[in-house]
Chains A and B, each alone.
Chain A
Amino acid sequence: MRVDLIDRAMAASGAAVRAIVYAMLALPALLVIVCSFTSGDSLNFPPTGFSMRWYREVWQNELFMTALWTSTYIAVLVSTMALAIGFAAAFAINRFAFLGKGFLQALAFSPLIIPAVVLGIGLLQLFAKLNLTQTIYPLLLGHLVLAIPYVMRTILASLSLHDRVLEEAAMNLRASPLKVIRRITLPLILPGLLSAAIFAFVTSFGNVTVSAFLTYGGHVTLPVQIFTYVDTSYDPLVAAVSSLMIVITLVIILVIERLIGAERVV
C-alpha cells in the first residue's frame, strides 16, 4: 500500500475525530452521575463533597417516585403488547408470500420518520375528542406505535437469520405447524424476542418527545417529569433521578448485548 502524506493526515485526523466522538457521546451521562453525588445544594462542577443525600431526596419525592412507577408500568405493558403484535406481523412477513409486503414493511417503519410533535399532538387531539385524555390509553398506544419499528426490525432479523432446516425436520416428523412454532421456532429465536421486548421497554421508558403531550390520570412519565422540572429549576435532585435512569438503561443495554451480541443490537 502506498503511504504518503495524505494517508498519514487521514489516519491522524481519523483517530482524533474518533476520540472526540466517543468522549462527546459518553460525557453527558458520566457527568450527570458524577454530579449526582454532591453534598451541596446546587449543581456545580466539580461537585462539592460526596453524599447520597440527593438519592434520599428522590426516594422521598412523591412526584418523581409516582412518575417512575407510571413509566415502569406503561413500559412493561408496552413491551409485552409490542412483542405479541410484532411477532405475529414479523412471522407473517417472513413466512408468507402476499401482495403489498413492501408497503407493509414501510408502514411498520413509518413511526421513525413521522416527527414526534405530529404524533404527540395528533394523539392528544384524537383522545381529547374521545374524552379519554385522563386514561392510560394515549400513552400506552402512543408508545406502542413508537415501539413497533424496533420490535419488527429485531424479530425480522432473527427470523431470517435462523436455520430453517430444523423446522423442516420437525415437519417431516409430522409435527403440526403450531407445534413446530412452539417447540422449534420460538426457542430458536428466543434471544431475538427477548431483546425486542427490551427494546420496546426502553423506547417507552425513555420517550419524552411524544409523552410530553400526553398524561395519564393527571400523572406524567418520569422523562416528562424531568423535562417540566428542568424547565423551571435546576438542582442536584434531577441529577440523582437522571443517574437512576442512566443505570437502568445501561443495565438493559448490557442485557441485550449478552442476549444477541453487540453486533446485532443495531
Chain B
Amino acid sequence: MEEPLASRRVLTPALLLAPMILLLVLFLIVPTFGLLRASFLSESHLLDGSGFSLKQYIRFFSDSYYSSVLFETFVDGIIVSLICLGIGFPTGYSLARLSPPARRWRIIIVIMPLTLSLVVIVFGWLIILGRNGVINALLLSSGIASSPKQLLFSRPAVITVLVQQFLPFMILSVMSVVTQIDPVLEHAAANLRANRFATFRKVVIPLALPGIFAGFNLVFVLSISAFITPRLIGGNRVAMLGSLIYERIMAELNWPSGAAMAFILLVSGLGVTATLNALAASRLVRKGGRYAR
C-alpha cells in the first residue's frame, strides 16, 4: 500500500495543476518571449524576420522624442500612484473600520469601476469633461465661464481619469491590511496620550506599509501601460508609451519597434516595482531591528 499512495501523492496534484500551468506557459510566457524575440529584429513590417540586432532599442534610446515620452509616462505613473495613495488611504482605512452593513454599499461603489469595462468609464469621463459636458454646463450656468472650456486632450484630464480607474486597487489593498491591524493597538496608543496624527504615523502607517506598497505597485504598473485612456482622453496632444505602442502595432504594423517598446515598458515597470519592494523590505527589516533592540 505504501508505494501507490506515495505515487498518488505526486501524480494527483501534478495532474490537477497541469491545465493551469500549461495555459499560463503557452499563452502567457511563450507569447511574452516571442515578443522579446521580435524586438531584436532589425527590419520593420516583418513578422517572420531572422537575425539579431539591437537596432530598435538603439533607435528608441537615441531619439529624444521617445525618451521624453518614456519619462513623461513614468512621471504620470508616479503622480497617479501618489494621488491614489493620498485619497485612497483614508478611504480604505475608514472602510476597514466600518461595520459590515455600513460597508456594503461603499464596497459596491468601489468595486464597480473594477468590474465595469474600462471603455465605459472613459466614455463617462468624456461626458463629464467634453465640450458640451457636465463641467462646462456647470461653469456656463454659474457664470464662471462665458464660453465652453477645452478640458479634454490635456495631461491633467488623463491623470484624473487614470486616478479614478485605478483608485479602487489602492483602496482595497489598504483596506485589506488595515482590517488585520487590531484596533486595540490604536486605542493603546491613544491611551498613551498620542493624538490621532501620532497614532497614525507611529502605529497605523508602519503596519499598513505592505498594503500601501502593494497598492502603489499595482496602480503604477497599470498607469504606465495604459493606452485606452491616453488615446481617448488625451488625443494626439498627450503621448504615453502605451498609446504609442498601440499605434505602432495596429496602425503602422511595425512589429519590431512596437515589441521593443512593449519590452522597455515591461522591464522598466518591473524594475520600479522591484526597487520599491526592496525598499519596503529593507525598511521593514530596519524597523524590526530597531524594535527588537
Establish whether residues A206 and B115, one from each chain, have CB atoms under 8 Å apart when the complex forms. Answer: yes
Q: Mark B191-211, 1 if CB is under 8 A from A, else 0.
A: 001111100100000000000
- Asked whether A141 and B23 contact (CB < 8 A) given A208-B119, A212-B246, the answer is yes
Complex-state Cα separation, A25 to B111, whole angstroms: 9
Q: Is the CB of B23 within 8 A of A85?
A: yes
Contact B19 A89 (CB under 8 A): yes
- Does B127 have its Cβ within 8 Å of any Cβ on chain A? yes
Tell me whether A262 is interfacial, beta carbon within 8 Å.
yes
Are B134 and A31 in contact, CB atoms less than 8 angstroms apart?
Answer: yes
Q: List the B side residues contacting A265 at CB < 8 Å.
A: 107, 111
When each residue 56-91 of chain A gets 1 if its CB lies under 8 Å from chain B and 0 otherwise, what string results? 000000000000000000000000000011101101
Does A156 sit at the interface, judged by CB under 8 A?
no
- Interface set, chain A 231-246, CB cutoff 8 A to B: 231, 234, 238-239, 242, 245-246
A252 in contact (CB, < 8 A): yes
Q: Tell whether B65 is near chain A: CB-to-CB under 8 Å.
A: no
Query: A139-159, CB under 8 A of B: which get 1 and which 0?
Result: 001101100100010000000
User: Which residues of the partner chain B approach A84 to less than 8 Å between Cβ atoms?
Assistant: 19
Interface residues on chain A, number (Cβ under 8 Å) = 97
- Chain B residues near A26 (CB, 8 Å)? 109, 112
Query: Are the C-beta atoms of A6 and B195 separated by less than 8 Å?
Result: yes
Q: How far is the CB of A5 from chain B (nearest CB, A)?
A: 9
Complexed CA–CA distance, A43 and B133 (Å): 8
Complex partner residue of B117 from A88, A93, A113, A223, CB under 8 angstroms:
A223
The answer to the question of A254 belonging to the interface, with a C-beta cut-off of 8 Å to chain B, is yes
Q: How far is the CB of A203 from chain B (nearest CB, A)?
A: 8
Cβ-defined contact, A7 with B195, below 8 A? yes
> Is A112 close to B, CB under 8 A?
yes
Contact A25 B113 (CB under 8 A): yes
The reply on B167 being an interface residue by CB < 8 A is yes
Bound-state Cα–Cα, A254 to B115, Å: 12
Complex: chain B residue closest to A23, CB-CB: B109
Q: Determine whether B234 belongs to the interface, using a CB cutoff of 8 Å to chain A.
A: no
Residues in A with CB closer than 8 Å to B184 are: none
Taking the closest CB of chain B, its distance from the CB of A175, in whole angstroms, is 17
**B19 with A213: CB separation less than 8 A:** no
Contacts of A212 in B (CB 8 A): 227-228, 246, 250
| In contact, B250 and A213 (Cβ under 8 angstroms) | yes
Do A28 and B121 have beta carbons less than 8 Å apart?
Answer: yes
Binds A, one of B50-58, B261-269, B285-293: B261-269
B24 touches A125 (CB 8 A): no
When A43-B127, A107-B24 are in contact, do A121 and B116 touch as well, CB less than 8 Å? no
Any A CB within 8 A of the CB of B106: yes
Q: Are B27 and A123 in contact (CB under 8 A)?
A: yes
Q: How far is the CA of A246 from the CA of B94 in the complex (A)?
A: 27
- Proximity bits, B86-120, A CB within 8 Å = 1, else 0: 01101100100000100110111111110111111
Query: A113 and B221: CB pair below 8 A?
Result: yes
Q: Does A134 contact B (CB under 8 A)?
A: no
Q: How far is the CA of A86 from the CA of B197 in the complex (A)?
A: 44
Question: Which of B31, B109, B126, B221 is most buried by chain A, counting CB atoms within 10 A of its CB?
Answer: B31
A173 within 8 A of B: no
B113, B116, B120, B266: which has the most chain A beta carbons within 10 Å?
B120
B245 and A121 contacting across the interface, CB-CB below 8 Å: yes
Beta-carbon contact of A125 and B176 below 8 Å: no
**CA gap between A2 and B197 in the complex, in Å:** 11
* Residue in contact with A209 in the complex, picked from B118, B132, B196, CB distance below 8 Å: B118
Partner pick for B38 among A43, A125, A209, CB 8 A cutoff = A125
Question: A1-51: which have CB < 8 Å to B?
Answer: 1-2, 4, 6-7, 10-11, 13-14, 17-18, 20-22, 24-29, 31-32, 35, 42-46
B17 within 8 A of A: yes
- The answer on a CB contact under 8 Å between B118 and A21 is no
In the complex, the answer to whether B34 meets A257 with C-beta atoms within 8 Å is no
* CB of A77, distance to nearest CB on chain B (Å): 14
In this complex, what residue of A is CB-closest to B241? A117
A190 contacts chain B at the CB level, 8 A cutoff: no
What's the Cα separation between A170 and B221 when bound, in Å? 47
Closest beta carbon of chain A to B233's beta carbon, Å: 10
**A88 touching B116, Cβ below 8 Å:** no
Given contacts A22-B106, A249-B115, A249-B116, whether A2 and B27 have CB atoms under 8 Å apart is no
A-B contact pairs, 21 of them (CB 8 A): A6-B195, A13-B90, A25-B109, A26-B109, A29-B120, A29-B124, A31-B127, A32-B127, A85-B19, A96-B12, A108-B20, A118-B35, A118-B266, A119-B32, A121-B262, A141-B26, A152-B20, A227-B232, A253-B115, A257-B107, A263-B100
